[in-house]
Structure 1
Amino acid sequence: MIELTASDGASFSAYRAEPADTPKGAVVVLQDVFGVTSEIRKVADAFAAKGYVAIAPSLFDRVKPGVDLDHDESGKAEGAAICAQIRKEQAISDIQATVDAVKDAGKVAVVGFCWGGDLAYTAANKVNGIACVIGYDGIETVADYREKRKVPTLLHFCEGDPELPTEAVTQFRAWRPDVSAFTYPQSVQGFGCGERGSNRQDTAAKALERTLFWISQYVEGQQPILLKNAGAYAQAKTEKKKKKKGDDDLGPPMD
């Protein structure tokens, strides 16, 4: 763990993983309500193994340092209570400091899960120095549809989340055609987390494939194309093959 300082003077820790060779860029991993758990650290390690500097800020440190909660209802409730004590602008300040800490590695992507997914979506328009954003299971994201995205944004949603009806995601897509949003059938919140009973390896693998391709396009590739009245439109293909029946691309048309 390393120590970072936000612009308001608040200090917080972050888990940093280094690639074996010269980095291709950097990935900031934003935690869910359970904290910087072993699962979040594994995600960072996996991005490092792909050639990126990966860093996961402990966004709970302003309230309670070193949070690492069990993936159960008790842990979820405790994490939600901590989230409620953190103002969004404070979290964004910490994310900005984290991006600044790794920008010497190259372009920076932000990937967030659940609570972190919502923060990643907000960071796209509030944090400087981001090349692209990926959000998983961001329940509040669909209500934040008014602003055009300033950087290419990819979102993953499960179809079995009772807190987020698929119809709401469909409506979000209509409001925000500059965002690529996918839903995954027979999956519930946390489908990408190996430490939760909701984990689905097939769905998680498909989402990860799209995430890695998105990052490779915008961290290693060209700058996004800015279209008039559409923000940073999602030009990258998120898969090389045509999509298979059974998962729904709710984003802009793709080849």
Structure 2
Amino acid sequence: MGQMIEITAKDGGRFNAYLALPASGKGPGVVIGQEIFGVNANMRAVADNYAEEGYVALVPDLFWRLEPGIELGYDEQAFAKAIDLFKRFDIDKGIEDIAATVDTLRQRDEVEHAGIGFVGFCLGGKLAYLTATRTDVSCSVGYYGMGIEDLLDEAANIKGRLVLHFAADDGYCPADAREKIKAGLAKLPKAEIYVYPGVDHAFARVGGMHYDKPAALMAHERTVAAFKKEIGPNFDLSALWEQHVLEEFGNRDVPATMATMVAEPYVNHIPTMTGGVGYAELSRFYQHHFVHGNPPDMKLVPISRTIGALQIVDEFILSFTHTTEIDWMLPGVEPTGKQVQIPMIGVIKFRGDKLCHEHIYWDQASVLVQVGLLDPQGLPVAGAETAHKLLDESQPSNRLMKRWQDSEGR
């Protein structure tokens, strides 16, 4: 997605940086601080991801003074080489090079906001803290930075937002070091510190031995939320979702539906594991098993909507008459003609101004009861009553609890 550009250092030297642009060609600027393995394929992929989030992302080669253009893998030999580079790396010069990168990014025509963000990993995590103390970035985010507890005398210089992500099992930054950092930053109004239990150093490195997807997703969402507070971009997620739903259910237009999504989206209907991963599979699913196969009277009634930095959580009631075979909800079940009302939850995540994924939840037992495939007698399940009670909370509770009457008057 990106290209290499050249940056002039404060002392006159020149070094390369990987530049990735959002689909729109413009957006706020974010500098990305490398790990000790150089600007390798992993760091370029990180930049591409931030570009898809709507940022003009720039990854400077911070090892250029030692070995320009170094790209290392993660085997034992590469790790030894990376440690050697790390030991010889001049932190102060590195921050000067980051400052030069910030200036270069701010001057580019593609950057729409005067404020610049920084996010760094491993070595870059430590540099994130120092970037916050020694430059004018609006928001700096560090992942599992090492040695920050020894640099807290610089904390008073921080004027922007600082977000630090730590792994609870990280031997490079143990609990006592994290406590010192928390105490040293406690008085800063825009300092956020997050510790992720049960994970180790480099938990956000995709494909790494310590990669932990849940922790990485949480940290990324918090990172982008912090950037949005300070530099944007701010999209109307509700309007974007409404447009997707209109194309999907109103116009039943598969190409238009796919156009509202990222290049490689995915949809997961949790109870039946239907949907698709990637453009080709999801487009096939929408075309042949979803958009044109839903009953003509299918309707969504919104109940509530919660909008976050990167996602929407929708609560709604889906109703339909089972007049067609619904592959995604009742695969292999012939139409029964039954009426169905079911509460549903949709977790819709965005990357930039496009939908990234949908996680859709409902009570499959309730659906089966309503179409006559499951006898609720003696089972702790209910039919359309679940939807009725969501709309009218005065409907009786606890009818499935045989011992409910035993507690009356107690």
Q: Same fold (TM over 0.5)?
A: yes
Conserved in 1, the CA contact under 8 Å of 2:54 and 2:233?
no
The 5 A counterparts of 1:69-80 are 69-80=72-83
3-state SS of the aligned residue for 2:223? helix
Is 1:2 aligned to 2:9, yes or no? Answer: no
3-state SS of the aligned residue for 2:145? coil
Q: Which residue of 2 is the match for residue 171 of structure 1?
A: 180
Q: Which residue of 2 is the match for residue 83 of structure 1?
A: 86
Mapped partners of 1:119, 1:49: distance in 2: 24
Q: Which residue of 2 is the match for residue 208 of structure 1?
A: 220
Cα pair distance change 1:3/1:22, threshold 3 Å:
closer
Cα pair distance change 1:81/1:238, threshold 3 Å:
farther
Conserved in 1, the CA contact under 8 Å of 2:30 and 2:119?
yes
The 5 A counterparts of 1:1-255 are 1-104=4-107, 105=111, 106=113, 107-128=115-136, 130-146=137-153, 147-148=155-156, 149-177=158-186, 178=188, 179-220=191-232
Mapped partners of 1:123, 1:139: distance in 2: 14
**Cα distance, 1:219 vs structure 2:** 0.9
Mapped partners of 1:39, 1:155: distance in 2: 21
Higher strand proportion:
2
When the two structures are aligned, how many residues end up with a matched partner? 226
Query: Could you say what the CA RMSD is over the residues aligned between the two structures, in angstroms?
Result: 2.1
Paired letter, 1:108: I
**Cα distance, 1:22 vs structure 2:** 5.0
Deviations 1:97-142 (A, max 9, x none): 11111114122100000111111110112123x1110000101112
Deviations 1:163-204 (A, max 9, x none): 221232123211211221111011111100013111011110
Paired letter, 2:212: R
Q: Which residue of 2 is the match for residue 232 of structure 1?
A: none
**Cα distance, 1:23 vs structure 2:** 2.6
Cα pair distance change 1:238/1:164, threshold 3 Å:
farther
Paired letter, 1:61: W
Note the residue ranges of structure 1 that are not aligned, 5 or more in a row.
223-236, 242-255
Tell me which of the two structures has the higher relative contact order, counting C-alpha pairs closer than 8 angstroms and 6 or more residues apart.
1
**Cα distance, 1:85 vs structure 2:** 2.2
Percentage of pairs with the same residue: 33
Mapped partners of 1:162, 1:65: distance in 2: 30
Give the TM-score normalised by the residue count of structure 2.
Answer: 0.53
Mapped partners of 1:199, 1:56: distance in 2: 21
Mapped partners of 1:240, 1:22: distance in 2: 23
**Cα distance, 1:34 vs structure 2:** 0.7
Mapped partners of 2:30, 2:172: distance in 1: 28
Conserved in 1, the CA contact under 8 Å of 2:27 and 2:233?
no
Structure with max Cα Rg? 2
Q: Which residue of 2 is the match for residue 248 of structure 1?
A: none
Cα pair distance change 1:12/1:161, threshold 3 Å:
same
Conserved in 1, the CA contact under 8 Å of 2:124 and 2:145?
yes
Conserved in 1, the CA contact under 8 Å of 2:228 and 2:309?
no
